[in-house]
Chain A
Amino acid sequence: MLGYLAARLTQALIVLLGVSLFVFILVRLTGDPGAALLPIDATPEQREALRSQFGLDEPLPVQFVLFLRNVAALNFGVSFVSREPAIEVVLQRLPATLELTFWAMLFSVVVGLPLGILAAVRKGRILDTLVTNLALVGQALPGFWIGVMMVLVFSVTLGWLPTSGRGGPEHLVMPVVNLAIFFMPQVLVLVRGGMLDTLSEGYIQTARAKGLPEGAVMYGHALRNVMIPVITMIGLNFGALLGGAVITESVFAWPGVGLVALQGIYRGDFPVVQAAVFVLAAAVIVTNLVVDVLYGWADPRIRVG
């Protein structure tokens, strides 16, 4: 178990390093931040002063070595705009993003799971067709469009919910639903498919033949097996949800990591963009790691791979 864990951790570190390198190069392709941060009529001397203050006057390889050394200490430098440590700017917003992602995930499972079971049980009936098609529509519509429409209908027209921002539970409703619309159909379809497969398995027939009540067959035998891929998907999709949250955060002015990264890109605030991508990547890697470890714990056969 320990060896397995060590191997996975090493992999995780390599991935993080790769991501950092990638972002380091990418942000530098977008131009000189010294140009973007000062008024257009600033003198060359002022631009030079700014560049040297942030170490941007060093040759690129030197910058990269410095960058790597600092990343090892989780130091991404100081935000060009707010002059605060970039990692703090990002970590301050991480709770907001995690809050959004957590509730979206919970909502997806709480709604998607029973609907998926129901659809499987009523396969081919009206309810199944309705639910499956709704899931299809939900996945096909662009998330930002749904978000904008939700604001128009529920905030502007009906006045039920706040248009944007973070605050009480009422601020969470629309962003969570918006984000869940992307994820819930996946849960639903997976549960439905899994249930249908499992229900045709021999051991289910055995269970029924034993005369178990239908409820016990469904929840005691079938669902437990369906849950394994569902848990995997939840773990793997946590990252996708964090990524999807960038758009949701933008539509609902939700002050999370995605929004910080987006604004950082607009303003050429390299350190913040680098820190934000690093934190998001680390979150994805950690979740995957946790899923892997849980797996190994639940099913010793997986540990070997």
Chain B
Amino acid sequence: MAEDTGSARLEKSGITRRQLLKRGGGAAAVLGTGGFAAFLAACERAASPSAGASASAGATFPPSQSGPGVLTVGLSAQSFETMDGLASGVTVSQGIYEAMYDHLVKVDTLNGGELLPELATEWAQVDDVTWDFTLREGVTFWDGEPFNAETAVHSLRLVLDDPANWLQSRIGGFASVEAVDDRTLRVVTSAPDVLTVGNISQIPMYPKAYYESVGASGFAKAPMGTGPFKFESWTDDIDVTLVRNDDYWGDVPAFDKVIFKPLPEPANRLSALLAGEIDLAYNLNIDDTTVLEQQGFLPVPAPVGQGTGINLLYLGGQDPENPMSNKLVRQAMNYAVDKDAIVENILLSSTRALQGQLVGPDCFGFNPDIEAYPFDQDRARELLAEAGYPDGFTIDFESSAENYSKAREVSENLVAQLAEVGITVNLSMLEWNLYLDKLLEATGAPMFYVGWNYYPVMDANFAIQHFLSDSIFKLAANEEMDAIYAEETNEFDRDRREGLLKDFMAVMREEAPFLFLFQSPLLYGLNPRVTGFPPTADDHPHVDAVALQD
């Protein structure tokens, strides 16, 4: 049954099963899960009377054990480790922090990365390096401590005074933070930085008096914020419970309580969702889409703000004789690969293909006028011949299966597609830490599989900075791109800056230092009693806007 769905999907995209099998990668995975889904469906049919009975109260909903007004969320952690959002860069707990803490500024991760007021109602630039934030009045922490400029300074200081803090990469460039008056926070950066406001959006606001009385370790166990949910309890390795903050300054959540459970493996989260133990599962396997649909659950794809593809121009480890120092070759490789087929068949349409640029339409700086390289292998062969490689060439390619969803299948598929235009690719799948070591030490292969983040700030500046002559990875050396970037980083007018980012994207498409594939996929599974869940691009669930149907 599931195999039928598979072949229907293939016909729709105009690829025959034989071709897909020839391309390797995805086919095995699709068929593999098909079998599992069919088994599961058979189990469910056998047990349908009891399942139907237990779900009778909620009409058509699959059963949930949460109870009315309670949302249970399964996150991919073995343990939540700390409630202090400043202490750990482990993104998985961010969904919990998000529910408890507010920030000065909020980034709209659904539509184009717009900056919205949160605890700062407005902000203004005084000069190139000085920014004033006007803070919201009447906001208090859960224990009644007022939120003011002093508390904001304190929160930012927690990061600035700790050189090893993971958020240093965001606000490390702040030279000073001070309270001008009770409602005004002044930030001075050491150099002009167009991302100042976006970066400040990453720092949660903590209460000064409470934090100082309990200390960092006390705060990590019993936190306090201004957010829509109040911390209630944390049982090590079992769950974290938050309750609605009825005094919240913003929209008070529509339900009473949220419970977060650590479920490290995707299989743990899938079975917990199917069994009704959780209502919202973070990061399921893409292949689980079919099972979710068959069982009456909602698969919710949330493309992450991360441009995934293959780096083609890698000056760090590349000799000048490398065929890919030729622009025509890089363009040919972009033509040779059917991106849409990969998204549809391997990623089961859980994300969107990149439109010939590093960022998606959810990012500030996205250029809607650029088109993706069409899938045209004849054109690819022409370009290769023009570049002096009529018979193709051989090249090394490194990838890692651990950090990116389906990276193995996609990488293997790319090898097969590039072989069709005569490029022989030697693929090595490396363990992630080793892969990263080679990348950072510039000893990696000339082609490598990578995702460049532009979340959580959702600003293209974030991703394109890697494609400059003087960037850490030295992924491209193009004077035009360098010049646009230099201008862009000094352009504080948001509209003009957006124009420059769009220009950068156009040049980058032409130069093709990257094989543009897709935004990293992320799949949530929902019990249909959960409505209004926003599939944001920042890689963690936002539960405050959710409504429950009980």
Residue numbers of A with Cβ under 8 A of B are 30-33, 35-44, 46-47, 49-50, 53, 81-84, 92-93, 96, 148, 151-153, 155-159, 162-167, 250-253, 255, 259-260, 262-263, 266-268
Contacts and interface: CB of A to CB of B under 8 A. Distances in A.
Contacts, number: 147
A164 B238 contact: no
A165 B261 contact: yes
B169 A43 contact: yes
A35 B263 contact: no
Interface residues of B, number: 56
Nearest to A83: B87
B275 interface: yes
A44 B474 CA distance: 13
A250 B265 CA distance: 7
A31 B402 CA distance: 14
A163 B277 contact: yes
Given A37-B89, A158-B47, A164-B271, A93 B433 contact: no
B271 A46 contact: no
Given A81-B81, A253-B262, A263-B78, A159 B51 contact: yes
A262 B78 CA distance: 10
B88 A157 contact: no
Contacts of A263: 78-79, 264
A35 B169 contact: no
Interface stretch (B105-113, B147-155, B160-168, B320-328): B160-168
B275 A163 contact: yes
A163 B169 contact: no
Given A163-B271, A163-B277, A164-B263, A30 B431 contact: yes
B434 interface: yes
Given A30-B431, A155-B271, A166 B237 contact: yes
B43 A266 contact: no
B272 interface: yes
A82 B82 contact: yes
Given A35-B440, A39-B169, A163-B272, A266 B51 contact: no
A82 B81 CA distance: 6
A47 B46 CA distance: 55
A167 B89 contact: no
B44 A157 contact: yes
A50 B166 CA distance: 9
B276 A159 contact: yes
Interface in B36-79: 39-40, 43-44, 46-47, 50-51, 54, 63, 78-79
8 contacts: A31-B432, A33-B433, A36-B433, A43-B472, A83-B87, A156-B43, A260-B79, A266-B402
Given A166-B237, A250-B264, A260 B78 contact: yes
A151 B271 contact: yes
Contacts of A148: 267
Contacts of B465: 41
B431 A31 contact: yes
Contacts of B39: 152
B54 A159 contact: yes
Contacts of A82: 79, 81-82, 87-88
A156 B434 contact: no
Contacts of B166: 37-39
A35 B453 contact: no
B406 to A, nearest CB: 17
A35 B50 CA distance: 50
A96 B237 contact: yes
B251 to A, nearest CB: 31
Contacts of B137: none
Contact of B268 (A49, A163, A262): A163
A52 to B, nearest CB: 9
Interface string B164-206: 1010110010000000000000000000000000000000000
B433 A158 contact: no
Contacts of B276: 159
B268 A255 contact: no
Contact of B453 (A40, A49, A93): A40
Interface string B425-458: 0000001111111001000000000101100000
A32 B437 contact: yes
Contacts of A167: 238
Given A163-B272, A166-B238, A263-B264, A31 B466 contact: no
